[in-house]
Amino acid sequence: MTQITEDTFEQVLQVFGGSSPFDLRETAFIDPYGMVGLLEMGELFKSEGGEKTFRLPESEEVLKYLERMDFFKFADRYL
């Protein structure tokens, strides 16, 4: 999965829905919708008593973007 966007999120659910860990290493782009979706997925698994491991994107550009958008600040609560 190279992009996590509003247009590709259903594919993300199919790929990661039942698997652990969520392997985002190949992700080259995540839009705000994708970030919120990832947080929601994490919250859902937590509420069901499960926990998922997320492997972060290898792209430094994507990681910097997630940091600027405060994704990691909220990830602690939901993932």
Q: Using one digit for the tens of pLDDT, what is the confidence trace for 21-71? A: 788 999 999 999 999 999 998 888 888 877 778 889 999 999 999 999 999
What single-letter DSSP state applies at residue 4? E
Give the per-residue SS3 of 16-78.
HCCCCCEECCCCCEECHHHHHHHHHHHHHHHHCCCCCCEECCCCHHHHHHHHHCCHHHHHHHH
Q: Phi/psi of residue 5, each to 5°? A: -135, 175
Residue 59 and residue 77: Cα distance in Å, rounded? Answer: 23
- Domain borders along the chain are 3-78
The three-state secondary structure class of 28 is coil
The predicted model scores a pTM of 0.84
